[in-house]
A and B are shown apart, each in its own frame.
Chain A
Amino acid sequence: MNSGRRNPRSRALRGFTTILLFLLPALVLFLLLVVAPIAVAMYTSFFKWNGLGGLPTEFLGLGNFERLFGDPVFQGDLWHGAVLIALSLVVQLPIALGLALLLNQKLRGRAFYRLLFFAPYVLSEAITGVLFMMILEPESGLANQILQVVGLGGLDWFADQSTVLLSLFLVMLWKYFGFHMILYIAGRQGIPNELIEAAQIDGATGWKVFRHVTLPLLGPTIRISVFLSVIGAIQLFDLVWIITDGGPTHSSETMAVTMVQFGFKRFQVGYASAISVVMFLISLVFALGYQRFVLRRDLQGATTVLRDQR
């Protein structure tokens, strides 16, 4: 890196010092505040601990985990996560993809639509959550007022165990589809138009072009979008905490909500740590498996999208 005039050893040393100095702040910050807490969570998950004073001493072995998997609330958490993931993939993903392709057309006002569709993503979960609490309020909320006007009965939305998850998903859809749409727009623009045109000249019609040209070439973007949806659903906290607090009677509770309940409200920090460890392991296993089997060649997908589209 330095000029070649000095002797090699001092050059190597200087290089080493530079590397160390440049890396040190990031390493310290990362090890102390990211790696260490996760290690601590793993350690405390084997103890009964109220989180106060000193280190935990009452070793339970796998006791917390046994209790966890036997708990219907936690089983419910897993189920709710699975439902939300399925909805994201089956509903949100196609919508986002379709709209991305739509906004790729010559459409009047498409710049405006792009701006509008992405806008909810920049609002905080707190604002989004509270806004929809008002709109989906059963008594006088906007949604039920609209349903009444068109002659349908109102729904109880977040207040009913059978509709609460779908209502939550509706809010998630409103907030997040624009983000995925933006990913797909970027991915679509990475496809040279010549390829599409070539297929059209070869006689492929709209659907065939999409199925055999656009879709396969969007593969890396789709895989990234799926990955982000799943990881996001596993960790889902803010919206649920703000809107339903996991209720009514745990019917919308997620792992993160259960964890915060036990960790910060009931001071069962050891047990709550066990939940966070399970969350971590699920994310990790998913991420590693996904990278190993699905992402493989486009490992750098997310960053290449950003870089190439500069």
Chain B
Amino acid sequence: MSRRAAVPSQGRRGRNHLILQLIAVVVGAFVAIPLIYGVVGGFKTTSQLSTNPFGLPSPWVPENYTDVLGSGSFWRQLWNSTFIAIATAAIVVGVSAMAAFVFARFAFRGREALFTLFAAGLMFPFTVAILPLFVLLRIFGLLGNPLGVILPQAAFGLPMTIIILRGFFRAIPGEIEEAATLDGCTAFGFFWRVLLPMARPAIATVSVLAIVTSWNNFLLPLVVFNEDSMWTIPLGVQQFQGQFASDTARILAYIVMAMVPALAFYAVAERQLIGGLTAGSLKG
């Protein structure tokens, strides 16, 4: 795979190139076929799926999709997921930005110890805390309340968000801060009017990460929400699968519709999600 011919003849380079292209196509098929099967399968009936698994639907059956679109529960789950994701991102990014600001630009005793405490949170797996979290949320009366999902998600997002933001905040030159201070900027003024606007790409990156994490969270909403009116999309998907276990085509339509918002968001925020990780050098 890594056989990048150093300075070989044209012929060998061409053959290698063909092999690489072939690998990409095969892996691409491995990734894409399940997705395509889902989209196309949603337009079939379940009996078509077993008699005609590979071909196009004949006839096309849009009912599976229109049933999903016509069902109130899908839209309600979409709304719940959206609301919880945005609220989580707003809280975790806001709170983390403030903490990261202090960690990046203030010197005080115990700073590194505190920062290490937060960073160690990366090692606290969410699943480990779910039982006591459940007990705690019950005491606070937050079971069945969106806040019961939003606040723990925000709390568990803190370590990663603080670490990333601190890195960005540190990279902003001290001269800018000095200039702002000389112009009479308070610490908060500098944070709000200089640092945050300058760190916009970083803010976007961590927001996107928080939204995706929240959107896909399964365990926490599973234990917090009893009423199906509160359910998020992942819970809805699992429930729908259980309800229509034998009606494969209908389930495929449902999960495809459930994929659309995530993939649409990925298409829009791809630069934040991937481009945040990979330098902008891979152009074309």
Give residues in A with beta carbon < 8 Å to B.
1-3, 15-16, 18-19, 22-23, 25-27, 29-30, 32-38, 40-41, 44, 51, 98-99, 101-103, 105, 107-111, 113-120, 122-127, 129-135, 137, 139-140, 142, 145, 149, 174, 178, 182-183, 185-186, 189-190, 200, 203-207, 209-210, 214, 231, 234-235, 237-238, 241-242, 256, 259-260, 263-264, 269, 272-273, 276-277, 279-280, 283-284, 287, 300, 302-307, 309-310
What are 30 A-B contacts defined by CB distance under 8 Å? A3-B182, A15-B187, A23-B114, A25-B99, A26-B95, A29-B151, A99-B1, A99-B23, A101-B1, A105-B20, A117-B27, A122-B262, A125-B234, A130-B241, A131-B38, A131-B255, A134-B38, A134-B252, A135-B34, A182-B274, A186-B278, A209-B4, A235-B128, A237-B219, A241-B218, A259-B127, A259-B130, A269-B135, A273-B132, A280-B124
Interface pair A1/B105, CB less than 8 Å apart: yes
Looking at the complex, which one of A41, A122, A127, A269 makes contact with B258 (CB distance below 8 Å)? A127
Q: Which stretch (B57-65, B67-75, B155-163) binds chain A?
A: B155-163
Contact partners of B202 in chain A: CB under 8 A: 310
Interface pair B54/A276, CB less than 8 Å apart: no
Query: Given that A22-B101, A237-B219 are contacting pairs, would A280 and B128 also be in contact in the complex, using a CB cutoff of 8 Å?
Result: yes
Give residues in B with beta carbon < 8 Å to A.
1-7, 17, 20-21, 23-24, 27-28, 30-35, 37-38, 41, 49-50, 53-54, 91, 94-96, 98-99, 101-102, 105-106, 108, 114, 117-118, 121, 123-136, 151-152, 154-156, 158, 162-164, 167-168, 171, 181-182, 184, 186-188, 191, 201-202, 205, 212, 215-216, 218-219, 223, 233-235, 237-238, 241, 248, 251-252, 255, 258-259, 262-263, 265-266, 270, 273-274, 276-279, 281-282, 284
Contact partners of B24 in chain A: CB under 8 A: 99, 102-103, 107, 109-110, 113
Contact partners of A51 in chain B: CB under 8 A: 131, 134-135
Interface pair A259/B131, CB less than 8 Å apart: yes
Residue of B nearest to A237 (CB): B127
Residue of B nearest to A101 (CB): B2
Interface pair A307/B125, CB less than 8 Å apart: no
Interface pair A102/B277, CB less than 8 Å apart: no
Contact partners of A133 in chain B: CB under 8 A: 241
Q: How far is the CA of A99 from the CA of B164 in the complex (A)?
A: 26
Residue of B nearest to A29 (CB): B155
Q: How far is the CA of A258 from the CA of B188 in the complex (A)?
A: 47
A67 to chain B, nearest CB (A): 17
Most chain A CB neighbours (cut-off 10 Å) among B34, B132, B237, B263: B132
Q: Is the interface of B mostly helix, strand, loop or mixed?
A: helix
Residue of B nearest to A43 (CB): B132
Q: Is the interface of A mostly helix, strand, loop or mixed?
A: helix
Q: How far is the CA of A284 from the CA of B121 in the complex (A)?
A: 10
Contact partners of B38 in chain A: CB under 8 A: 131, 134
Interface pair B131/A272, CB less than 8 Å apart: yes
Interface pair B251/A123, CB less than 8 Å apart: no
Q: How far is the CA of A246 from the CA of B61 in the complex (A)?
A: 35
Interface pair A38/B241, CB less than 8 Å apart: no
Query: Given that A16-B108, A303-B163 are contacting pairs, would A185 and B262 also be in contact in the complex, using a CB cutoff of 8 Å?
Result: no
Looking at the complex, which one of B17, B27, B251 makes contact with A134 (CB distance below 8 Å)? B251
Interface pair A114/B274, CB less than 8 Å apart: yes
Contact partners of A185 in chain B: CB under 8 A: 277-278, 282
Interface pair B223/A264, CB less than 8 Å apart: yes
Looking at the complex, which one of B2, B130, B184 makes contact with A3 (CB distance below 8 Å)? B184
A246 to chain B, nearest CB (A): 14
Contact partners of A99 in chain B: CB under 8 A: 1, 23-24, 27
Interface pair B158/A34, CB less than 8 Å apart: yes
Q: How far is the CA of A110 from the CA of B21 in the complex (A)?
A: 9
Contact partners of B105 in chain A: CB under 8 A: 1
Query: Given that A210-B2, A256-B127 are contacting pairs, would A19 and B212 also be in contact in the complex, using a CB cutoff of 8 Å?
Result: no
Contact partners of B130 in chain A: CB under 8 A: 259-260, 263, 276
Interface pair B6/A22, CB less than 8 Å apart: no
Query: Given that A174-B30, A238-B218 are contacting pairs, would A124 and B262 also be in contact in the complex, using a CB cutoff of 8 Å?
Result: yes
Contact partners of B31 in chain A: CB under 8 A: 116-117, 119-120, 174, 178
Contact partners of A231 in chain B: CB under 8 A: 123, 125
Interface pair A44/B251, CB less than 8 Å apart: no
Contact partners of A132 in chain B: CB under 8 A: 34
Interface pair A284/B127, CB less than 8 Å apart: no
Contact partners of A30 in chain B: CB under 8 A: 117-118, 121, 155, 158
Looking at the complex, which one of A34, A116, A126 makes contact with B129 (CB distance below 8 Å)? A34
Q: How far is the CA of A289 from the CA of B273 in the complex (A)?
A: 30
Looking at the complex, which one of A33, A101, A273 makes contact with B131 (CB distance below 8 Å)? A273
Q: How far is the CA of A235 from the CA of B238 in the complex (A)?
A: 20
